[in-house]
Amino acid sequence: MSIKENLQSIQNDIPERVTLVAVSKTKPVEMLMEAYETGIRDFGENKIQEMSAKWESMPKNVRWHMIGHVQTNKVKDMAEFVHLVHGVDSKKLLLEIDKQAKKFGRKINCLLQIHIAKEETKFGLDDNELDEILNDGDVLNLQNVEIIGLMGMATFTENQAVVKSEFKHLKKLFEQHKIKNPKFTVLSMGMSGDYPLAINCGSNMIRVGSSIFGTR
Ligand SMILES: *Cc1c(COP(=O)(O)O)cnc(C)c1O
């Protein structure tokens, strides 16, 4: 199937309240443009250098999502244009994003990444660390970042019950913090293999790569 057909079938599948982020990492600009021409404006990348090169050559109304782990020293290379940073997992990173955003007179939207999977991945906050960051005086005072929600990745497994319980847990955390913070609006969960389940569990932003552009 073509990129266009893949996108059509996904979009027919998902409710309007759900934002589809087309994950285009490793794919050439020509393929991104095919998606762009069908109306896609949200693209996800996991390397700042690659995202920046694509930003240079793509139309300027694209919204660039940084979905990978962010190294503090690279923040400056995306501060001018990034739309949403999904993988924020430390106070240090938030402070750096704030500092770099200030240079461009911008406010950069961020999601805090939560470690919901059973497997040992390196990244993501646990529930206590999330509380700590959201109640941190320095973080609360940041003028150039806005924390607008949460992001998570479920365990890579065929076991739907496990994936479901992880998504439900993230949704619960999201709702708990949403009560205290009206800025909390985005729950980013679901990829090619699990987005229907993620949406059932309350996701309103999915990050889909291989189901659109093919395997990497
Ligand atoms: C690559 C990636 C995706 C997309 O994965 P697919 O299985 O290709 O849909 C989603 N989220 C993150 C964080 C990724 O790194």
Span 11-28, pLDDT tens digits: 999 999 999 999 999 999
Percent of the chain with pLDDT over 70: 99
Higher pLDDT, 9 or 119: 9
Strands 108-114 and 145-152: parallel
Q: Cα(189)–Cα(169) distance, rounded to whole angstroms?
A: 12
The ligand 1 site (C-beta within 6 Å) comprises 23, 25, 46, 67-68, 153, 191-193, 207-211
Amino acid at 13: D
DSSP for residue 75: G
Residue 181 CA to its chain's centroid (Å)? 19
Q: Which of 7, 19, 23, 66 to mutate to test the pocket of ligand 1 (most atoms within 8 A of CB)?
A: 23
- What SS3 class is residue 208? strand
Distance (Å) from CA 141 to ligand 1 centroid? 32
Is pLDDT above 80 for 120? no
Please check whether residue 108 is in contact with residue 85, taking contact to mean a CB–CB distance below 8 angstroms.
Answer: yes
- Binned at pLDDT 50, 70 and 90, residue 184 comes out as very high
Q: Determine the average pLDDT of the residues in 178-193.
A: 96
Main-chain dihedrals φ then ψ at residue 76, nearest 5 degrees: -60, -25
Which residue's CA is the nearest one to ligand 1's atom 12? 67
Helix H segments across 58-159?
Answer: 91-103, 127-134, 137-140
Distance (Å) from CA 45 to ligand 1 centroid? 9
Contacting residues for 45 by C-beta, under 8 A, at least 6 apart: 23, 24, 25, 51, 54, 64, 65, 66, 67, 68
Q: Which of 50, 67, 69, 157 to mutate to test the pocket of ligand 1 (most atoms within 8 A of CB)?
A: 67
**73-88 per-position pLDDT tens digit:** 999 999 999 999 999 9
Q: Determine the average pLDDT of the residues in 192-203.
A: 98
Helix H segments across 25-71?
Answer: 29-37, 48-57
pLDDT given at position 119: 81
pTM > 0.85: yes
